[in-house]
Structure 1
Amino acid sequence: MGVEVSRLSNGLTVATETLPSIESVALGAWVKSGARNERDDEHGMAHLLEHMAFKGTKRRSAFQIASEIENVGGEINAATSVETTSFYARVLSNDVPLAVDILSDILQESEFDPDELDREQNVILQEIGAAHDTPDDIVFDRFTETAFRHQTLGRSILGTPETVKSFTSKQLHDFMERQYGAERMVVVAAGDIRHDDFVREVEKRLGGFRTKADATAPQYAQYVGGDFRENRDLMDAQIVLGFEGRAYHVRDFYASQVLSMILGGGMSSRLFQEVREKRGLCYSVYAFHWGFSDTGIFGVHAATGQADLADLVPVIIRELARAGQDIQQDELDRARAQYRAGLIMSGESPASRASQIARQLLLFGRPIPKEELMERLSALTTDRLTDLSSRLFSTKPTLTAVGPVGALVPYEAVLDALPGTEPAARRLAV
């Protein structure tokens, strides 16, 4: 049947997709508001709000929220990203009305009890401490902070101990009222669901939700790049090397996704074969591309011991430069197959499918048919990917490293070694 979409009178978008042979339903509410929508004095509030979602409403205590959903064998959770916040559940099809009622209760009647707030603030302080003690987490926090310096897009979603402890119940209510409006929200269900029935349930409980929010658009992101190194007494070093990527809406977004697979998307990828298998310079290496609404970032993460650190980045740079000169058809075909398989496999999971539909509705205003995505992938050519590589890896790099990083090549040498500086490239050659 495909995806069916309706819009309520208050502007709320409701979408469903019936998945054959599935007896459960994944459903949730997604809000176009995340960490980058916070003001300077609200750093970490979107994440705290997610934590507080299940801590009690005017009709239910925290225990009642948990027990009611678990009494029917269901589960409920929430998540915060840079640009969205989601509240979602998974239940058997007969229990969809209960799940919709609980989610709508959370969105409209949350109490944010001060005692519950104090406890949850302490939980997040522990989470912040745990992240700081995990090098492969903290290196990515420093990576985005360096790439988008002094911007909300670059800040850690968790916030800081100082900001998190400062928040009050009133501030949480004010943030929710300012950010959450029906026109900025979608409610999606996937699985054993009938569209008309689901729309009626949502209309009954969220049809009166405020239409507009007072939120202003987040600051337009500007990629900056730069260098960050934190020397720690650890067994290995965590390295992330990145460049300005592509936003969701631009022509090169899907090409960038495929390029990341060619370079570091599996055991057959260039970086894995050259850096790990042939040279043994690290125990982990992969490439990634993150898209946002107005920008993106392309990166390579590697973890290695101190002895191999000096050789690691030069080899990675050489592979990135080589992508701007030659990409083989069989590499493109393999990456396309990986992407296609990932889409199909994720579509077999109700939760993944509901999340994908919600993301497309928030970003593009419509669900993107799988056939359309396949057409975009089919249109990619090796010439287009080499051209993209040469442009992508000519932007100012972002290099972050945590661990015993004393032997890491200087940032200036990385700048010189990128395409267009032959002498320095020879100096870094391995």
Structure 2
Amino acid sequence: MKTFTFKLSNEIRIIHQEIKSDVSYCGIMINSGSRDELEDELGLSHFIEHNLFKGTSKRNAFYVVNRLEEIGGEIDAYTAKEETFIYATFLKDYYDRTIEILSEMVFNSTFPKKEIEKEKIVIEDEINSYKDNPSEMIFDEFENAVFKNHPLGQNILGNHYLIKNFNKTTILNFIRKNYNTNEIILSSVGNISPKKIVEISKKYLGKVPINKRNHLRPKKYKYIPKKITLKKNISQNHCIIGNIAPNIFNKNNLTFNLLNNILGGPNINSRLNLSVREKFGFTYSIESFFNSYSDYGIWGIYFTSESKYLNKILNLIKRELIKMKKIKLGPKQINTARNQIYSQLAIFNESKSNVMQNNAKNMILNNRVETLEQIKYKISKISADEIQSLAQEVFDINNLTTIIIKSTK
């Protein structure tokens, strides 16, 4: 797919890929998330995302949702550490309607007091539900431990006490500071010409007043490994062990993605799955993950187990990490690993919704997107020496943070 980019006079950027399909995908990404919140604003980004659906200057909450739903489309949103994304899936004939409602929600939401108060109840319920789910909660506890006293450690949902104090003024002040036009992307993948997408974008986004960002995100931080055990009335133990990793701009980012995939990626033949689950049957699920942000990355291994297997699994994990540090991959192993991660990426890109979201994120971070062929070439150049060197740097057994949610049963 050929990629087209354009910048409006207010510095909102557009990225579009034209495809021949009846279904199209479009979204607006704001380079602002939970890490941009002050201490008394924790949870505000997510709270705003919810309230973007609650009425605009032209429509009340019912008509906002039904603007796309009534023609069979879907509209959704998410809040992450560094971005907020509102996006839609719809038939190709409804591009004008879709960009209109997305732009209304982002730039002309009215935040009625009644709706704000209702959404506080909804989010309190969401927080309670999250606390009842240790497989979700442990990831936030881990990030909070690794990024202690840094905005990246802040829980996206926030807490009950602060959310109760949010109001329209709180919301508008945050939007004014963080919804900057030079940090906003309209991303599209669909059956429409570049000329037409620019025309519609100018119509609904071109009149938004320019509001450039004039502040930088805090970066000062010192990682200190921790061991934390929480107790909960659950049947299984949940555990994550890991530490900091390359950030999104680090030259080793792609190499670490490959290393992580070999160690505990989604395939059954990952080293951790073979050495822990398949060989011993100690756990139903074990996986490693890698999230990279603009200034730091985080990596870890997550598993569940009965109490009698917990320490055995931790010892097997450490043994596997040491092995990856000491033993270099052979030619066949590195070739298999390269092919595997490229195949996963190609399959991921078969979803045009994934492509649309990924394009937005890449424009936010790099102001460009790479083709699959460009990424494939970079993967082909990753060497076994580079993988081993990175394993030796990151897989320091004495520098790992461990979080355990321990069963009290």
Q: What is the identity, as a one-letter code, of the residue corresponding to 2:400?
A: P
Q: CA deviation at 1:28?
A: 0.7
Residues 391-400 or 373-382, more deviating: 391-400
Alignment of 1:306 with 2:307, yes or no, is: yes
Give the alignment of 1:96-115 within 5 angstroms: 96-115=95-114
The CA deviation at 1:214 is: 4.9
1:253-272 equivalences in 2 (<5 Å): 253-265=253-265, 266-272=267-273
Q: Which AA in structure 1 matches 2:116?
A: L
What is the CA distance between 1:402 and its match in structure 2?
Answer: 0.3
- Between the aligned partners of 1:25 and 1:92, the Cα distance in structure 2 is 6
Maintained 8 Å contact 1:230/1:405: no
Shift of 1:215: 5.7
Query: Does the CA contact (< 8 Å) of 1:262 and 1:270 recur in 2?
Result: yes
More off after superposition, 326-335 vs 355-364 = 326-335
Aligned to 1:332: 334
* Structure 2 Cα separation of the partners of residues 334 and 191 of structure 1: 34
Would you say 1:4 and 2:7 are equivalent positions?
A: no
- Aligned-residue offset at 1:284: 0.9
Q: TM-score, normalised by structure 2?
A: 0.96
The answer to whether the Cα contact below 8 Å between 1:13 and 1:186 also exists between their aligned partners in 2 is yes
Structure 1 position 203 matched with structure 2 position 202: yes
Contact 1:262 1:332 in 2 (8 A): no
**1:410 match:** none
| Partner residue in 2 for 1:387 | 389
Question: 1:190-230 CA distances to partner (integer Å, 9 max, x unpaired)?
Answer: 02121110111011111122322456222116333312110
Q: Displacement of 1:346 after TM fit?
A: 2.4
Q: Which amino acid aligns with 1:81?
A: A
**1:344 positional shift:** 1.7
Q: How does 1:34-73 map to 2 (within 5 A)?
A: 34-73=33-72
Q: How many angstroms apart in 2 are the aligned matches of 1:152 and 1:224?
A: 15
Cα distance between partner residues in 2 of 1:361 and 1:145: 28
- Distance in 2, Cα, partners of 1:173 & 1:256: 39
Give deviations 1:265-301, integer Å, cap 9, x for gaps.
Answer: 1210110000111122211101111111011011110
Q: Which amino acid aligns with 2:196?
A: D
- SS at structure 1 position matched to 2:399: coil
Could you report, residue by residue, the CA deviation over 1:361-414 in whole angstroms, capped at 9, with x for unpaired residues?
Answer: 1111111222221111111111111111011112721110102389xxxxxxxx
> Counterpart of 2:362?
360
- Equivalent in 365, 377, 385 of residue 375 of structure 1: 377
Q: Deviation string for 1:58-95 (max 9, x for gaps)?
A: 10011101112112111111111100001111111110
Q: Quickly say closer, same or farther: Cα 1:240–1:25, change in 2 above 3 A.
A: same
Q: Which amino acid is 1:104 matched to?
A: S
Aligned to 1:212: 211
Identity percentage of aligned residues:
27
* Alpha-carbon shift at residue 9 of structure 1 (Å): 1.1
Alpha-carbon separation, structure 2, partners of 1:332 and 1:258? 10
The answer to whether the 8 Å contact 1:179/1:215 transfers is no
One-letter amino acid of the structure 2 residue matched with residue 86 of structure 1? F
Q: What is the CA–CA distance in structure 1 between the aligned matches of 2:395 and 2:249, rounded to whole Å?
A: 20
Are the equivalent residues in 1 in contact too, given 2:182–2:213 (CA < 8 A)? no
Q: Which amino acid aligns with 2:175?
A: M
For 1:256 and 1:343, how far apart are their aligned partners in 2?
15
- C-alpha distance in 2 between matches for 1:228 and 1:141: 13
Give the TM-score, by structure 1 length. 0.91
- Is residue 309–residue 405 contact of structure 1 (8 Å, CA) maintained in 2? no
Is there any run of 5+ residues in structure 2 with no aligned partner, and where?
none
**Are the equivalent residues in 2 in contact too, given 1:178–1:213 (CA < 8 A)?**
no
Provide the rounded CA distance (Å) in 1 between the counterparts of 2:286 and 2:354: 26
Q: Where in structure 2 are the equivalents of 1:150-169 lying within 5 Å? A: 150-169=149-168
**2:199 is equivalent to residue 186 of structure 1:** no
Count of residue pairs the alignment pairs up: 405
- C-alpha distance in 1 between matches for 2:17 and 2:189: 5
Residues 269-284 of structure 1: matches in 2 within 5 Å? 269-284=270-285
* Distance across 2 between alignment mates of 1:171 and 1:215: 19
* Partner SS state of residue 356, structure 2: helix
| Stretches of structure 1 lacking an aligned partner (at least 5 in a row) | 407-430
Matching residue's letter, 2:147: F
Q: Which 4+ residue blocks in structure 1 deviate beyond 6 angstroms?
A: none
1:166 is paired with a residue whose SS is coil
1:401 to 368, 390, 404: 404
